[in-house]
Amino acid sequence: MSELLKNIIRFVLFIFVQVFILFKVPPLHRFIIPYLYFLYVLWLPFNMPRPWLTFIGFIFGLTLDYFTHTPGLHAAACTLIAYVRPFIINMLISQEGSDKNYASPSAISMGWAPYATYVLILTLLHHSYLVFLEWMNFGSFLFFIGKVIGTTAISLLLILLTELLFFRKERFRTNTA
Amino acid sequence: MLQIIALSFLFRYNKFHQAAFSNVSAEITGRINAKYNGIEYYFSLKSTNDALVKENEKLNQLLKSSYEAPGLLNKLMTDTVMIDSLKKIQKYVYREAKVVASSVASQTNYLTIHRGSSQDIKPNMGVISPSGIVGTVVSTSPNFAIVMSMLHRQYTVVVKLKNGGERGKVEWDGVDPSFVTLRDIPKSAKMNTGDSIVTSETSSLFPPGILVGTVNEIVDDKSSNFYVVRLKTATNFYNVQYVYVIDNTQFEEQKKLEDSTRKKFQ
């Protein structure tokens, strides 16, 4: 399957899973809202130029926004992580240049520890920004801190589960192939 | 460069958080939601049925045939006089609507209903469920309408105590979807847990006397002369399937008069 088709299917799938499964789960607590959809942005290929990455992040966030009736909220957070993503990858990736050898970020292509750091930083960034925008409208500081920690914890759990359930095989790309 | 433009665009966008949406997007997401609800609906048939049967029972109680005047001499008769000074004008028109999407988890919750501007749904109409109030219509597309739920941080509604008639306002603190907060009830009011809180005559969106919630906990705020009351919502927002949109036929008239008066004395 081509990389483009795979990502288009993922786009639809992530939106639907977020809107029709995760947002339908009865809330345990107001701080714990299961977010998974932004994993799409984390899974985009390495070789995508930054303007495209930012643009796709924006469109992806906006699509979700139309379902939740919050125009710009998720779009802003997604654009931010899509923009920051290349910096983080450059910082975390080893000298051998796995961004040239593999298609997209995963535990295999980057190694478990750098990949976990990559996910943690971007998740935290996404939620902080999202809750910050929400917090500017209403809420207290406790709300901000509590919700960032709560949603980040549940998101990391969900991402771990997704990674284990849908194990992505990454092909090692060589010049001959 | 592009990312800066994108972000500034977003910040500008964010100011319109609660603003109306373009018709197209509401129509598309509405259609997808309607498809999904077609499946989801089967899982809540039982509770929906229960709610509707309860409401039927309530309405049957109001039927004329359920009442009989005491004694044989003054039997209830239909008035045959042609010009009837007691004839009333219908002020509130009810339209049923199916809920196709709803949320409770967010701080800003909305519902999407399968009725729109083609079916005479307009913004600023009250929405109730068989058991209590739900929210207010904020925007419409031809076949769908977005309802701001009572579980929205910016939603307020004027209510009164069913027993005493003291007025207050209800808002949501964003903590628990089953509870809302009632404010501005003076401490002179008599109130017990379990009391009904209903919509007030001064709320122009809802007919008076529609259940909003029941008193769960009364907090005696020492710093003010008003109670802060925790209400259990009458509507179960987790499984609301059918709602009624209330069209107040005199809403425009009342609003126009109030606005013009405000302008006159500014």
CA of B237: which chain A residue's CA is closest?
A26
- Whether CATH 1.10.3470 fits A3-165: no
Compute and round to an integer the Cα radius of gyration of chain A: 16
Specify the long-range contacts of residues B82-88, CB closer than 8 Å, at least 24 apart: none
Q: What is the pLDDT along chain A (177 residues), one digit of tens a residue?
A: 688 888 899 999 999 999 888 888 877 777 788 899 999 998 888 888 888 888 898 889 888 888 887 777 888 888 888 888 888 888 887 656 666 677 788 877 788 888 899 999 999 999 998 888 777 766 678 888 888 999 999 999 999 999 888 877 776 666 554
Q: What angle do CA B31, A56, A106 make, to 5 degrees?
A: 110
Q: Length of chain A, please? A: 177
pLDDT of B91 reads 80
Distance CA A54, CA A83 (A): 5
* ipTM of predicted assembly, 2 dp: 0.72
Domain range summary for chain A, segments of one domain joined by +: 3-165
- Residue B243 Cα, gap to closest chain A Cα (Å): 19
pLDDT of B161 reads 92
In 3D space, the residue among B166, B161, B121, B155 whose CA is nearest the CA of residue B141 turns out to be: B121
Contact check, Cβ <8 Å, A71/B7: no
pLDDT of B168 reads 92
pLDDT of B159 reads 93
In 3D space, the residue among A129, A124, A126, A115 whose CA is nearest the CA of residue A160 turns out to be: A115
CA of A50: which chain B residue's CA is closest?
B3
CA of B138: which chain A residue's CA is closest?
A69
Residue B236 confidence (pLDDT) above 50: yes
Domain range summary for chain B, segments of one domain joined by +: 157-233
Q: Which residues in chain A have their CB less than 8 angstroms from residue B110's CB? A: 68-69
Residue B135 confidence (pLDDT) above 90: yes
- Residue B14 Cα, gap to closest chain A Cα (Å): 5
Residue B93 confidence (pLDDT) above 90: no
Higher pLDDT, B86 or A10: A10
Collect all residues from B whose CB is shorter than 8 A from any CB in A: 2-3, 6-7, 10-11, 13-14, 16-17, 19, 21, 25-26, 28-29, 33, 36, 40, 101, 103-108, 110, 146, 153-154, 174-177, 238
- Whether CATH 2.40.10.350 fits B157-233: yes
Considering the entire predicted model, what is its pTM?
0.76
B66 — pLDDT class (breaks 50, 70, 90): low
Least CB–CB distance from B17: residue in A54, A67, A71? A71
Residue A100: CA count within 13 A, CB half-sphere: 6
